[in-house]
Each structure stands twice: as C-alpha cells, then as structure tokens.
C-alpha cells in the first residue's frame, strides 16, 4: 500500500511515520510537508534513507502538487495543520488558510482520484466541558471556541460533506491532547520540561485548574492504524487517554517530582484568551468496534517523555527560542 501523509514532519505525523514503517515495512510512504516552524526534518533523520520513505517539500494548498501525489497514492492520511492555540490567538488567518482551505484542496484532489481519505482532527471541535461533568462522544454537537478549533471543525464538516455529496471514502478521528517525543517545546508538557532543564519556571495559565485528557502519541498512532485498516467508511472515532481529570497544576507537580525539583518552580501567568476549561473523551466506540484502548499509564509515559527531552536536547534546543517568542508576545 502507498500512503500519502501530509504534515509528516510535525509532532504526530513524524511519530506516525516511524510507527508505520516499523509495523508495515512492506508499505510505501510519501510525506508532503511545507516545513513551517512546526515541521522539522530532524524528526525523520533516521528514516530519510529508507527506500520506502520519500519526502516532498510542498504545500497542501498547491492543487497541482496535491493532485499529483494523491493520484499516486492508495490512501491519504491528513495531519497537516496549524495546531497551536496560543498562535491562533495572535494570528488566526493562517489557521483558516491551512486548516480549512488546505483540507479543501486535498479533498478536491482525493475526489478527482477517488482515494480513501483519513482526516486527523481534535476533540476541541466540541468546545469545552464544565469541571467534573460530562464527556465528549461522537454524538456531541460541534461548538468550537477558538480560531484553531473552529478551523478544525470546518475541515471536519468539509470531509463529511465530500463523503455525503460525492461518496468519497472518508474516516475521521478526533483525539485529545497528545504528548511524547518530537513535540515542539511550545506545547504544555514539552514546554514545562524544557523550561525546567533551562533553569526557567513552569508557566501556569490562570488558576491552573484546566483539565486535558492526555493521550500518548504511540497510543494515538495505534488508533489511527486500526481505523485505516478496519474502520468503517464514513465513520468518526474519538480517541482519548487514560487520565481521570488531571488538571494542569497536577501535571506540573508530577513533572517536578520526576525531575526532583521543588514547587517554587511553578509560576502563575496571564490566562489564555478564551481558554477552554476541560476536555474529556469517551472512547467507547473505537474500543467496542475496533478493540482499541490506551496501552500505558500516564505516569509511565510521562517519565519516558521527561527522559526523552533530557536525552535529546540537541533536538529541541534550536526550537526553543521560536517557542518562547510566541509567549513574549502573549505575555505568558
């Protein structure tokens, strides 16, 4: 099988390419990525010479390149996006451009060539939940609250519309917050660990009582594999983690413990505008239909993630200034 991966030089896409080449060594992968600040060829340096892997630098909004690559593939797995909420506060336009227009261009290419299309989306399209009450399911109405989540919601609607209108064979996964190796140091867990290594503080937005449903990127890759190989066309599957409502402050305390540091390294900063209070994903459907469940505990994966950042400073060091430049502008 030949897979066209978009955004494969980013965090989840590069983990997925590693995962796929290991678990499906007979398959061929083409990675289309324009290499924004979030796209990093170093994530894939170890597979660059693998004969089953090809990198193409290009934009998903370029219809010509999208059409050529989609035509040559059996399936499109679409990760490419602008993905960071703090950046969406500062510059929402590029989120509309990439996440909506870019997905549309790829869908058009898939439609012209009648190719299977898997769309990677987020639980944020459902908005947010009150503390200690409720979960997102596949039936939860869409209610996005940021330019990022609104643009992802629009892209989900386009994917479904192409299925209904043109019979395009699509599937969608909406997952919760990923963490693990190769995550840009702009995101919460990777920012905390790299700040602490640098002798800086952990920055906690607002009161810190915001809840995320932490999903290790390896568990996410396994879920996508199951949907690609056994998922039902036209269906959406939610993917979430194992954590029982752990708030940001508690995650910060775990990390301080793992790094043998004290609580005085926690600093409260200005809150994010429009900050979503809580995400919690009910992953019963993918569990019942495809047998997926997260494999490892948050504490085990978190420890491994801390170790990975400690051992891979040369990977994240060149990205750190770029990450902190955003926070200079937001005052966080």
What are the residue numbers of the active site? Answer: 123-124, 148
Question: Residue 12 contacts by C-beta under 8 Å, 6 or more apart in sequence?
Answer: 79, 120, 178, 217, 220, 221
Confirm or reject binding of residue 279 to ligand DAU (CB under 6 A).
Answer: yes
Q: Can you say whether the dihedral through the CA atoms of 131, 135, 140, 145 is positive or negative?
A: positive
Q: Which of 298, 299, 125, 274 minimizes the C-alpha distance to 213? A: 298
- How many C-beta neighbours within 10 Å does residue 312 have? 13
Report helix, strand or coil for 150. Answer: helix
Report the site for ligand NAD in 127-166 (rule: CB under 6 A).
152
Report the site for ligand DAU in 208-267 (rule: CB under 6 A).
210, 212, 248
Q: Can you say whether the dihedral through the CA atoms of 101, 107, 110, 111 is positive or negative?
A: negative
Confirm or reject binding of residue 10 to ligand NAD (CB under 6 A).
Answer: yes
The residue sitting closest to ligand NAD, measured at its beta carbon, is 10
Q: How many residues sit close enough to ligand DAU to count as binding (CB under 6 A)?
A: 19
Question: Residue 171 contacts by C-beta under 8 Å, 6 or more apart in sequence?
Answer: 116, 117, 118, 119, 227, 228, 231, 232, 233, 234, 235, 236, 237
Among 105, 128, 191, 220, binds ligand DAU (CB under 6 A): 191
DSSP string, 155-184: HHHHHHHHHHHH---EEEEEE--EESTT--
Q: Which helix (H) or strand (E) holds 317?
A: helix 313-330
Among 5, 29, 73, 98, binds ligand NAD (CB under 6 A): 98
Among 4, 21, 33, 65, binds ligand NAD (CB under 6 A): 33
Confirm or reject binding of residue 59 to ligand DAU (CB under 6 A).
Answer: no
Q: Give helix 188-197 / helix 298-311 axis angle, nearest 10°.
A: 50
Confirm or reject binding of residue 81 to ligand NAD (CB under 6 A).
Answer: yes
Q: How many residues sit close enough to ligand NAD to count as binding (CB under 6 A)?
A: 30
Confirm or reject binding of residue 170 to ligand NAD (CB under 6 A).
Answer: no
Shortest Cβ 67–ligand DAU spacing (Å): 27
Helical segments of 115-247, H only: 147-166, 188-197, 217-230
CA atoms within 13 A on the CB side of 125: 24
Return the structure tokens found at 279: 């995400």
Report helix, strand or coil for 80. Answer: coil
Bridge-based pairing of strands 266-269 and 202-205 is parallel
Q: Which stretch binds ligand NAD (CB under 6 A): 54-62, 128-136, 198-206, 282-290?
A: 54-62
Among 53, 79, 136, 237, binds ligand NAD (CB under 6 A): 79
258 interacts with, out of ligand NAD, ligand DAU, none, CB within 5 to 8 A per kind:
none
Among 2, 24, 61, 265, binds ligand NAD (CB under 6 A): 61
Q: Can you say whether the dihedral through the CA atoms of 300, 20, 287, 277 is positive or negative?
A: positive
Q: CB nearer to ligand DAU: give 68 or 277.
A: 277
Shortest Cβ 187–ligand DAU spacing (Å): 4
119 interacts with, out of ligand NAD, ligand DAU, none, CB within 5 to 8 A per kind:
none
Q: Which stretch binds ligand DAU (CB under 6 A): 32-40, 56-64, 77-85, 90-98?
A: 77-85
Instruction: List residues near ligand NAD by CB under 6 A.
Output: 6-7, 9-13, 32-36, 38-39, 59-61, 79-81, 83, 98, 102, 120, 122, 152, 175, 177-178, 184
Q: Give the residues lining the site for ligand DAU (CB under 6 A).
A: 83-85, 122-124, 176-177, 187-188, 191, 203-205, 210, 212, 248, 272, 279
């Amino acid at each position: 099988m030949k897979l066209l991966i978009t955004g494969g030089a980013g965090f989840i896409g590069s983990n997925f390419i590693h995962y796929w080449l290991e678990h499906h060594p007979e398959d061929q992968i083409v990675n289309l990525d324009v290499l924004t600040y979030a796209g990093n060829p170093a994530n894939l340096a170890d597979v660059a010479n693998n004969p089953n892997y090809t990198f193409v630098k290009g934009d998903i909004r370029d219809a010509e390149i999208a059409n050529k690559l989609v035509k040559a593939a059996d399936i499109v797995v679409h990760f490419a996006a602008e993905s960071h909420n703090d950046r969406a506060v500062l510059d929402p336009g590029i989120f509309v451009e990439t996440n909506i227009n870019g997905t549309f261009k790829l869908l058009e290419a898939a439609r012209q060539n009648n190719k299977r299309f898997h769309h990677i989306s987020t639980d944020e399209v459902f908005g947010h939940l009150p503390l200690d009450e409720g979960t997102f399911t596949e039936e939860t109405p869409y209610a996005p609250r940021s330019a990022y989540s609104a643009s992802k919601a629009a892209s989900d609607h386009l994917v479904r519309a192409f299925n209904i209108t043109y019979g395009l064979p699509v599937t969608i996964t909406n997952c919760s917050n990923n963490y693990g190796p190769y995550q840009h140091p702009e995101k919460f867990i990777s920012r905390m660990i790299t700040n602490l290594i640098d002798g800086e503080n952990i920055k906690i937005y607002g009161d810190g009582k915001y809840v995320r449903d932490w999903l290790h990127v390896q568990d996410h890759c396994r879920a996508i594999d199951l949907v690609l190989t056994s998922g039902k066309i036209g269906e959406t599957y939610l993917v979430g983690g194992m954590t029982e409502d752990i708030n940001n402050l508690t995650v910060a305390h775990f990390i301080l413990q793992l790094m043998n540091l004290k609580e005085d390294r926690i600093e409260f900063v200005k809150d994010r505008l429009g900050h979503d209070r809580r995400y919690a994903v009910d992953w019963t459907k993918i569990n019942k239909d495809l047998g997926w469940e997260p494999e490892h505990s948050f504490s085990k994966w978190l420890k491994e993630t801390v170790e990975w950042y400690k051992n891979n400073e040369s990977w994240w060091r060149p990205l750190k200034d770029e990450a902190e430049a955003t926070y200079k502008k937001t005052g966080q």
